[in-house]
Amino acid sequence: MSQVSSVTTDEPRGAVIGQWLNRLLGFTAALVMFTMMMVTFVDVVGRGFDHPVPGGFEITEFLLASLIFLGLPLVTAEGGHVEVDLLDSVIPNWFKSFQRVLIGLVNIGAIGLLSYLMWQFAFRTYKYNDTTAVLEIPYAGLTFLMAVCCTLATLALIVMLFTSRSRLTNKDNEYQA
């Protein structure tokens, strides 16, 4: 008789969920990038034979928007956004903690507002059943993906603020406990 062992981990649930989301978003983004590359390749080759991909431009638009928004929570959790540190050398050390919190709150407000607006846009797009002009692909799926990714980025910023971290992942892109 075989003994079934349960896998236990010393990592907190949040880190496990973060690693799972990181892998899911990263794999999906890679798949979208590969698909976009193949659509472009087939479209360019097809143009040489006067047979471009019908609606290739619309497909590429959808894939590009998906790729950008799939990357948003990944870059946010990694702490990979552009930072301008022109004044860091003249700001006193006692002010840097306040500055970090203030910047975190501004980022949460900005991405949170974007999330809110994206959810409104997604529901409006769904309600009106908006589609693309040529292939008539519904926009709702894309806009909901964009809203979910903005919300994940906002949640990552909130966790980073309350845990006093500048990034949620370590240098190997694994979520820290």
Flag whether pLDDT at 6 surpasses 50. no
Going by C-alpha positions, the residue among 168, 137, 143, 142 that lies closest to residue 155 is: 168
Those residues whose C-beta lies under 8 Å from the C-beta of residue 61, and which sit 6 or more positions away, are 132
The pTM of the full predicted model, rounded to 2 decimals, is 0.83
Written as six digits, the tokens of 113 are 């507002």
* pLDDT band, residue 19 (cuts 50/70/90): confident
Q: What distance in Å separates the CA atoms of residue 33 and residue 35, rounded to the nearest whole number?
A: 5
Residue-level pLDDT at 149: 97
Give pLDDT tens digits for 89-103: 888 888 888 888 899
Query: What are the extents of the domains in the chain?
Result: 13-80+92-162
Phi first, then psi: give them for residue 138, nearest 5 degrees. Answer: -65, 135
Share of the chain above pLDDT 70, in %: 85
Q: What distance in Å separates the CA atoms of residue 86 and residue 83, rounded to the nearest whole number?
A: 9
| Contact by Cβ (8 Å): 12, 177 | yes
Give pLDDT tens digits for 58-80: 999 999 999 999 999 999 988 88
